[in-house]
Amino acid sequence: MSKRHGNRGAGNAVDRAPERGSVAVPADVAAASAEQPAGAYALLANYERRSLAHDPGVPEQIEAPGLWRAIGFRVGEHHFVSGIDEIGEILMSPPPVTSIPATRPWLLGVANVRGNLVALVDLKQFLFGQRTHITGRARVLVVKQAGGNVGLLVDELTGQRNLTDADRANAEGEADPGLARFVTENVTLGATRLGRFSMVELAHAAEFQHAGV
C-alpha cells in the first residue's frame, strides 16, 4: 500500500498526460530529468536552462529601439493602427446595449461588460456618418477615458502591427480634415495604407465627450 503511494509525486507528472491548463513537458527534458536523482527541482531547473538557451529572436525584435507596437483595425475602407497601450481590451462581438434617449446616433447605448458599464460608440458613424453593418468580423475596442470606459465598434480587427522607424520614414500627413484631428500620420506597408489613430485625441475631442442632442 505504501509502495503504491510512494509512486505518486513529481516523477509521475511527467508520465501522465497534462491536465487542462497545464504545460506539457517535452519528452527529451523528461528523459534528462529521469537520469537525475534530484527530482522535480532538477526537472524545472533543466527546463529553465533549455528555455533560456533557445533564442528565436522575437523578443529582441519586439523590444528593438524605434519599434512601435500597435493593434490594427478597419473602419469602412480605412485601415488604422492604435498603440497597444491605448486599448485596454478587445471584445470579440458587440455586447447587448441599452439605448440612451436624446443622444447622438453614433452612441449606440451602454453595455454591461462583466459588471462594468461601457458606452458603446459606432466609430464609423462618428467619423464618417455611416452606420456600421455588424458582421461576424465586427469587434469592439475598449478604451479608457476620464468618464469611464468606452467601446468602439469597428468593422474588423486586422491584428497586431509592428512599425519601425524605417517604416515610418516616408509617413504622410492626413489630408481629410475630419480625420486629421485623430490620425497623426499615414504609413504604407505593402499595398495597405495605415493611419496612426490616436485614441487619446479621440477621447479628448469635445464632440466625442458630449453625445447629448
Q: Report pLDDT digits (tens) over 102-117.
A: 999 999 999 999 999 9
Type and span of the H or E element at 201: helix 199-204
pTM equals: 0.70
Amino acid 127 reads L
The domain segmentation of the chain, as residue ranges, is 2-54, 68-209
Give the fold, CATH level 3, of 68-209. OB fold (Dihydrolipoamide Acetyltransferase, E2P) (2.40.50)
> Do residues 66 and 182 lie in contact, with contact meaning Cβ atoms separated by under 8 Å?
no
Residue 35: the pLDDT is 47
pLDDT digits (tens, 9 = 90+) for 176-212: 999 999 999 999 998 999 999 999 999 999 999 999 8
Residue 5: the pLDDT is 47
Helices (H), 20-163: 27-34, 40-53, 58-62, 123-128
CA torsion 120-123-125-131 (nearest 10°) is -70
Q: Is the pLDDT of residue 154 over 80?
A: yes
Distance CA 42, CA 198 (A): 49
pLDDT band at 99 (very low <50, low <70, confident <90, very high): very high
pLDDT digits (tens, 9 = 90+) for 158-170: 999 999 999 999 9
pLDDT digits (tens, 9 = 90+) for 16-74: 444 444 445 455 544 544 444 455 556 556 655 655 554 444 444 445 668 999 999 99
> Please, what is the Cα angle at 185 between 80 and 141, to 5 degrees?
25
> Do residues 137 and 93 lie in contact, with contact meaning Cβ atoms separated by under 8 Å?
no
Residue 66: the pLDDT is 81
